[in-house]
A and B are shown apart, each in its own frame.
Chain A
Amino acid sequence: MRFGAHFRLLVTGLLLSFAVAFAAPGSAQQVNPTADAVKEQQFLDALKGNPSAELQGRITIPDQKAATLERPAGREWREFHQGTMLRIGAIAVLGTLIALLAFYLIRGRVRTEAGPAGRTLTRFNAFERFMHWLTAACFIVLALSGLNVTFGKLVLLPLIGPQAFTNLSVAAKWAHNYLAWPFMVGIALMFVVWIKDNIPNMIDLRWFAAGGGIVGKEHPPARRFNGGQKVVFWSVVLGGAALSVSGFYLLFPFYAGGVLNLQFWNVVHGIVSVLMVALILGHIYIGSIGMEGAFDAMGSGEVDLNWARTHHSLWVEEEMSKGHVGGGPRLQPAE
C-alpha cells in the first residue's frame, strides 16, 4: 500500500534524498564531459529501488526547495490523498456514525437504573468545563474544516458551486489555521489538569473486562475516569499532540525540511485527524444522547449521585469521604 511507503518514512525518520552518484572518470587520459554526461535514466533506475528518491542539484536562488529537479514521490502522496485518505476517512467517519446509530437502535439510551437521586456532586469545575469546551469547540471547527479539504470537493462543491465553495474553503482554512492554537492550548491544559486521574491501573482492566457496563447490566467500578474515558483522554492528548506537531509543520512549511517531510506530516495529520473524528463522534454520542445524565457532567458540572454511583462508584466513595457530596440545591463548598 502507498500508505506503507509513508510509514516507512516514519520509521526511518529520514529524508531520503538522491543525487545521481557519479563515478570520477576512470581514465586520466581524457576527461570527456560530453560522453560522461549524467543521464536521466540513471535517476529513473535509482528510483526503482527507492520510490522516495529525489533528484537534487545546485541552484543559485536562495529557495533550496527549488534545487530539487524531480520528485516522483509526489505520485505516492497523490495516491494516498486521493485514495487511502478518502477511504480511511470515509470508513472512519461514516463507519462510526453507522455503528453509533446501530448501537443506539439496539441498545437505546443508557439510563441510570436507580433513577435520579436528587443529590448532586461536582464532577467538573468551571475551569475544567471551560477547558473542555474550548478544546471541543475548536475541534469541531477544525474537524469540519479539515474534512472539507478531503471531502469538500466531493460533497459540497457540487452543491454550492465553485466560487461559494472557495469562499467557504478560504474561511475554513483561516479558521483552521487560527483555531489550531486555542485547540493546542486546550489539549495542553487537559493534559496537565486531568493526567493524575488518567493513570491506567488494574481497575481499568476489570472495567474493560466487563465491557464498560454498556454491554450487559452490571457496571464495573471506576474512579473519576473509567477505562473508556482514559482511552479518550490519552487518544486526545496523543492524537492532539500528533496533530499539533504535524500541523505546525504544515503551517510553517519552511521548518519541515523538504517536501517529502511535508508529505509525511500531511499523512500523519490526515490519518490521526480522521481517527480522532471517529473517536470524538463516539465521545459525543456517549456524552449526550447515548447516556442519560452524562451531559450534565460537562453541562452544569453537577452530576446526579445515582448516575455517579453507577458509572464511577469508586470516585463517589472518594468524594463522599472527602465530604464533597452536596444535597438538594447544591451549596458552594466552603473552601
Chain B
Amino acid sequence: MLIKRKTADVQRGRLQTAIAGLSSGVMDRRAFLRRSGLVAGGIAAAGALQIGSVRKAEAAGLGPATGTKIIKNICTHCSVGCTVKAEVANGVWVGQEPAWESPINRGSHCAKGASVRELVHGDRRIKYPMKLVDGQWQRISWDVAINEIGDKMNEIRAKSGADSVYLLGSAKFSNEGAYLFRKFAAFWGTNNVDHQARICHSTTVAGVANTWGYGAMTNSYNDIRNSKTILFMGSNAAEAHPVSMQHILVGKEQNRANVIVFDPRLTRTAAHATDYIRIRSGTDIAVIWGMMWHIFKNGWEDKDFQAARVYGMDDVRKEVEKYDPKTVEDITGVPEAQMKRAAETFAKVKPATFIWCMGVTQHSVGTANVRAICNLLLATGNVGGMGNGANIFRGHCNVQGATDFGLDIANLPCYYGLVEGAWRHWARVWDVPYDYFVTRFDEVPAKGGRPARTRKANMETSGHTSTRWFDAANLPTEQVDQKDNLKAMFVMGHGGNTIPRMPDAVKGLEKLELLVVADPHPTNFVSLGGRKNGTYLLPIGTQFECSGSRTCSNRSVQWGEKIVEPIFEAASDYFVIYKLAQKLGFADPMHKNFEMIQGKYGPEPSAESILREINKGGWSTGYTGQSPERLKLHMEHQDKFDLVSLRGAVGSPVENDFYGLPWPCWGTPELKHPGTHILYNTSLAANNGGGTFRPRFGLTRERTLADGSKVNDTLLAENGSYSLNSEIKDGYPEFTMGVLKKLGWDADLTPKELETITWIGGNAIDAVNWANDLSGGIQRVALAHGCVPYGNGKARANAWNLPDPVPTHREPIYSPRVDLVAKWPARPDERTLRIPNLHTSVQKAAVEKGIAKSFPIILTSGRLVEYEGGGEETRSNRWLAELQQDMFVEINPADATARGIRDGAFVWVSGPENNSKARVKALVTERVGKGVAFMPFHFGGFYQGQDQRGNYPKGTDPIVLGESVNVVTTYGYDPVTAMHEGKVTLCQIAAA
C-alpha cells in the first residue's frame, strides 16, 4: 500500500539545489556500488587470494556503468517463497529491490529476506576446500578433495557396505539438486539419505498423506485471506514465516476473522490473536480431542461432508468420548469454557483453517498429533475449499521440494516408495537397467536374531533417519539393522546442532572415519567434538549462485535465476554431485539424460535438463507439467496473477494458470494443466485445478459389527461427491489401463501413448497406471473425462496402518505429570527404522528416577525471526547477527525469582540426560508460563560452557556463537518417522 512517487516530484528542493546541475559526469550510485564491490573483493582477496574474489574484483572494476541487470531469484530462508530481486552490475550484486509483482510477497521480506545480499558478500564463507590434518585445517584443491573423499568412500563401502555412508542432503537444495542427490544415493546403493524434513514436517507428511493422500499443505498462504477462522497450533508464523502474516493479518482484518492460537508461549503470533489459549507442551491430541468432544456433543460437525468423503469417523467418536472437559483440563490445562469457545468457533465460523508447525510435529507422538488435527478438519468439513484446509507452514525454502524428490529414507522421487515397481519406474525414467541398482545395495547378514536381507530386500527397506545418525554409529553393531555401523557422513547443507542429544552426537562424530561438510558456511558439525582427521570442508554456493526451481510450502514451483557466479572457490551443488559421481564411477549413466553445460569449474548438468527428467517421471505427484519454460514464464509474468486466487489473468500469457503451477500439475506441459491451488477441491474440474481425496489404501475395508458379523465399508467417495464436471458421478479408484478399458476410454489414447503403455506393461498392460505411464496418456484421458487420475476416495479418520490408527493422548517421554504417565503411557518399546525405539523404557526410567522433581521445568524450543535452522548462515550475516547476539532462555518471572535469576544474567540450563548443561542468558518474561522455559534452536559454537570458536577454520567462524538447545534436549522419537521430541522435555535452571 505504498505510494510510489514520480521522480520529478522529488528531484529538487535540497540544500544543494543550486549545484544539482553540476551532477553530469559524476559517477552514479550504481557505479559507486560497483566500486565498493571492488573494495569488498579486495578485502576478501587480501585474506586469501583466490580465483573467486579476484574475478569478482575484476568484474567490479570494469569501466563506467554499463547498466544494471535485474535478476529474480527466491529467498533461501523459509518456505513462503518470497521473490528476491537483485540488481547486478558487472557480476556484482549491488542492490536489492522489492519485488512488488510477486503475488506471494508483494515486495515484502522479513529480516532474513531483506538481508540475503550479504550472503554473497561472503565475509565468513568457506573460501576453498579444506581438510583437517592432525587438528589443523589445510587448504586443498577441488580435485584432491573429490579424490580423497571418493577413495575413502570406496574403502568404507568395501569394508562396511554402502549403507555405512550416510548421505545427508538439504532442504536448501533446488528441486534439481535434491533430485540429483537422491539419484546419487540410488546409484551409490543406499536408502540412508535424508534431509531437514525429518526434523521439520516428516510427521506431517506421514500423518497427512495417510489421511487424504498427499503430504503437503492443502491450500496456500494467499488463500488464508479467505478464512473466517484461523487456528494456529504450535506455529509462530510471525517469527518463522513473517511474510505469511501479511496474508493472515489482512484476512483477519478484512473478514474480521477469528485468530485462535494454541501455544505454550504467548508468541509474537499470539500477540495478534483474538483468542490465545495456553496449553501444556505435549498435549496436542488431548487439546484436539477436547475440542472435538464439544463438537460431537453439540452436533457442530459437518455430517454431510463426513458421509460423503470420510471413512471411520465413528472410531474417532469413540476415542473422543474419553476426553471430557475435566479430563482435558487436567491434561492440557485449558479450562472448559475456553475449549468450548474455540471448538464452536472453529466448527461454525467457516471457512476455518488450521495452521501448524513444529509445535505439533516435533513430538514422540508427532504423526498422531497431525492425524488428530486432520480429523478435526474432516469432522467440521474444513478441507478442500477456499479459506479452509490444513495449512502446514514448512520451514525451509525448498523443504517441500526436497521432500517431494525423495531426500528421504523411505521414498524415491515423488513418493513412489521403495517397492520394486517404484525402482522399476525410475529405472525406466533414468534409462538404466533395474538390475544395476540391485547390485549396488548391500547384502545384510543375519544378526541380533533378525534374518538376513538380500540386496533386493535391502533396497526396499527404509534407511536410517537423520535424527538418530549417531545412534547408528554408536550402538552395538548387533542392534543396527544394516551390514555395519555408520562410518561416514556426507553432509550437504545441513546443520549439526538441530537434533537432540548432542552429547551423543559428539560421541558419534568421534566414531566416524569420514566427515564431509559441503556447505556455504562451516556448520556445527565442524566445531562440535574434537575431530583431528578425516574431515573435509567443501565450499558450496548458495541458491543465489546457481539456477533452479524450488517449491514453496503451498506447492508452487518458482524458478530462481543465478544472480552471481559462486563466490571464492565455491561450486554449485550440481557440480559437486557430478564430480563425486564421476570419481565413484557412475557419472555417465547417472547423467545420460542431462544437458551438460560449462560451469565454473567444468561441465555440470543444467538445471533445466534435470527438471525435464523430473517432468518425465514425476507423474504420481503431478510434477510433470512444470517445464522450465512454463516456470520461467510465470516468473516473468508474476504481476499477472491474482493475489487471492493465484489465477493468471485472462488474456495474459499465463491465463488460467495458478501461480507456480502448484503440484499436482497433471500431464505433460503441453496439456496446460493450471496446477492445483487447493488440494481436494471438488468445486473445480480436475483439469482446472480441482481434486478429490486420494484412495490409496484399497477400495473397501472390513468392519466387524457388534454381533460379530462383518461388513465391507467403501473407501471411495459417496453421496455424489466428485469434482466438478466429472463424468463419473461417484467415487472411483485410481486410473489404470484396466480401468480405462472397462470404461471404454482406452480408445481415447493416441497410438504413441498406447505404444509406451504397452512397453511399460508388457504382459500385464492393464496394471499400467496413471503414476507409471510415462506417456501421460492415462492421465490425459482421465482428465479429459473430468476425472482425477488418482481416483476419488474417502479420507481416513481411522488410518489402520499407523501405530495409533486413531490417535490417543500419550504423555511425553519426559513428562512433568508423572501421575498421568500410568494412564497415558508412551508406546511400548519397538524396533523402527533399523534401530530400537525405547519409548516406554526411557519414560519409565525417568519416572523412577524422579526426573520430574529434579528437573521441574518444561523446556520447549523454537525459532527467532533473525535466524534459521542451525543458524550458521544467518549468524554469519552481519546484518542479522547484530540483532541477536546472545543465546538465551526464556523463563517466567516466578521461576526466575525463586532461583535468584536476573534478566540478562547468565544461567545454567541442565538436562536430564548425560549430565548435560548449557550456559545461556536469562530472558525473564511472562511470555512463557510458570514452569516453562523456551530456548531458540539456532545457536551453536559453544558447548557446555566452552567456546569452540577455535574449531572453525580461520575467518569462517560465525559472528555470533552460542549454546545449542540440543545440548540439553532428550530422547523421544515418533514411531513412524523417528521425528525427535524437540518441543517438550524437562530441565532445571540455576544462576551461573
The answer on direct contact between A and B (beta carbons under 8 Å) is: yes
Tell yes or no: B277 within 8 A of A by CB: yes
Tell yes or no: A61 within 8 A of B by CB: yes
In the complex, how many angstroms separate the beta carbon of B328 from the nearest chain A beta carbon? 16
B270 touches A33 (CB 8 A): yes
Tell yes or no: A170 within 8 A of B by CB: no
Tell yes or no: A60 within 8 A of B by CB: yes
Bound-state Cα–Cα, A60 to B111, Å: 13
Tell yes or no: A29 within 8 A of B by CB: yes
Tell yes or no: B255 within 8 A of A by CB: no
Majority-rule SS of B interface residues: mixed
Tell yes or no: A214 within 8 A of B by CB: no
- Chain B, residues 853-882, CB within 8 Å of chain A (1/0): the string is 000000000000010000000000000001
In the complex, how many angstroms separate the beta carbon of B87 from the nearest chain A beta carbon? 28
For A238, list chain B residues within 8 Å (CB).
none
Bound-state Cα–Cα, A35 to B274, Å: 7
- Chain B, residues 257-279, CB within 8 Å of chain A (1/0): the string is 00100000010001111111110
Residue of B whose beta carbon sits closest to that of A32: B274
Interface residues of B in 272-288 (CB under 8 A from A): 272-278
Tell yes or no: A62 within 8 A of B by CB: yes
- Chain A, residues 1-41, CB within 8 Å of chain B (1/0): the string is 00000000000000000000000000011111111010000
Tell yes or no: B338 within 8 A of A by CB: yes
B274 touches A34 (CB 8 A): yes
For A28, list chain B residues within 8 Å (CB).
335
Q: Of B270, B272, B275, which is within 8 A of A30 by CB?
A: B275
Tell yes or no: B159 within 8 A of A by CB: no
B885 touches A29 (CB 8 A): no
A33 touches B272 (CB 8 A): yes
B338 touches A34 (CB 8 A): no
Bound-state Cα–Cα, A148 to B335, Å: 68
With known contacts A34-B259, A61-B882, A29–B337 Cβ distance under 8 A? yes
* A interface residues, how many (CB within 8 angstroms): 12
In the complex, how many angstroms separate the beta carbon of B837 from the nearest chain A beta carbon? 38
Interface residues of B in 87-102 (CB under 8 A from A): none
Bound-state Cα–Cα, A253 to B341, Å: 53
With known contacts A30-B338, A31-B276, A34-B272, A60–B884 Cβ distance under 8 A? yes
Residue of B whose beta carbon sits closest to that of A58: B925
Bound-state Cα–Cα, A224 to B445, Å: 109
For A30, list chain B residues within 8 Å (CB).
275, 338, 341
For A32, list chain B residues within 8 Å (CB).
273-276
Interface residues of A in 54-76 (CB under 8 A from B): 60-62
A33 touches B885 (CB 8 A): no
Bound-state Cα–Cα, A30 to B866, Å: 31
Tell yes or no: B883 within 8 A of A by CB: yes
In the complex, how many angstroms separate the beta carbon of B926 from the nearest chain A beta carbon? 9
In the complex, how many angstroms separate the beta carbon of A64 from the nearest chain B beta carbon? 9
For B335, list chain A residues within 8 Å (CB).
28-29
With known contacts A60-B883, A61-B883, A29–B338 Cβ distance under 8 A? yes
Residue of A whose beta carbon sits closest to that of B259: A34
For B884, list chain A residues within 8 Å (CB).
60
- Chain B, residues 959-985, CB within 8 Å of chain A (1/0): the string is 000000000000000000000000000
A31 touches B275 (CB 8 A): yes
In the complex, how many angstroms separate the beta carbon of A257 from the nearest chain B beta carbon? 16
Bound-state Cα–Cα, A326 to B223, Å: 104
Bound-state Cα–Cα, A245 to B596, Å: 74
For B273, list chain A residues within 8 Å (CB).
32-34
Residue of B whose beta carbon sits closest to that of A59: B883
B271 touches A33 (CB 8 A): yes
In the complex, how many angstroms separate the beta carbon of B112 from the nearest chain A beta carbon? 15
A33 touches B337 (CB 8 A): no
Bound-state Cα–Cα, A60 to B335, Å: 34
Bound-state Cα–Cα, A30 to B334, Å: 11
Residue of A whose beta carbon sits closest to that of B342: A30
In the complex, how many angstroms separate the beta carbon of A165 from the nearest chain B beta carbon? 16
Residue of A whose beta carbon sits closest to that of B273: A33
In the complex, how many angstroms separate the beta carbon of A16 from the nearest chain B beta carbon? 20
A31 touches B337 (CB 8 A): no
For A37, list chain B residues within 8 Å (CB).
271
Residue of B whose beta carbon sits closest to that of A29: B337
Bound-state Cα–Cα, A263 to B275, Å: 43
B885 touches A62 (CB 8 A): yes
Residue of A whose beta carbon sits closest to that of B926: A24
Bound-state Cα–Cα, A34 to B271, Å: 7
B266 touches A33 (CB 8 A): yes
For A62, list chain B residues within 8 Å (CB).
885
- Chain A, residues 216-251, CB within 8 Å of chain B (1/0): the string is 000000000000000000000000000000000000
For B882, list chain A residues within 8 Å (CB).
61
For B271, list chain A residues within 8 Å (CB).
33, 37
Interface residues of B in 241-266 (CB under 8 A from A): 259, 266
- Among B259, B271, B275, B883, the most chain A Cβ lie within 10 Å of the Cβ of B275
In the complex, how many angstroms separate the beta carbon of B570 from the nearest chain A beta carbon? 31
For A33, list chain B residues within 8 Å (CB).
266, 270-274, 276
Bound-state Cα–Cα, A37 to B274, Å: 10
In the complex, how many angstroms separate the beta carbon of A57 from the nearest chain B beta carbon? 12
- Chain A, residues 292-330, CB within 8 Å of chain B (1/0): the string is 000000000000000000000000000000000000000
In the complex, how many angstroms separate the beta carbon of B19 from the nearest chain A beta carbon? 15
For B270, list chain A residues within 8 Å (CB).
33
In the complex, how many angstroms separate the beta carbon of B925 from the nearest chain A beta carbon? 8
In the complex, how many angstroms separate the beta carbon of A20 from the nearest chain B beta carbon? 15
Bound-state Cα–Cα, A35 to B259, Å: 12
In the complex, how many angstroms separate the beta carbon of B286 from the nearest chain A beta carbon? 19
Interface residues of A in 86-142 (CB under 8 A from B): none
Bound-state Cα–Cα, A32 to B273, Å: 6
For B259, list chain A residues within 8 Å (CB).
34
A31 touches B277 (CB 8 A): yes
For B278, list chain A residues within 8 Å (CB).
31
Bound-state Cα–Cα, A34 to B277, Å: 13
Interface pairs (11), CB distance under 8 Å? A30-B275, A30-B341, A31-B276, A32-B273, A33-B272, A33-B274, A33-B276, A34-B272, A35-B274, A60-B884, A61-B885
Known pairs A31-B277, A37-B271; list 8 more (Cβ under 8 Å).
A29-B338, A30-B275, A30-B341, A31-B278, A32-B276, A34-B273, A34-B274, A61-B882
**Pairs A-B, 4 closest by C-beta atoms:** A31-B276, A33-B271, A34-B274, A29-B337
Q: Interface on A for B, CB 8 Å cutoff?
A: 28-35, 37, 60-62
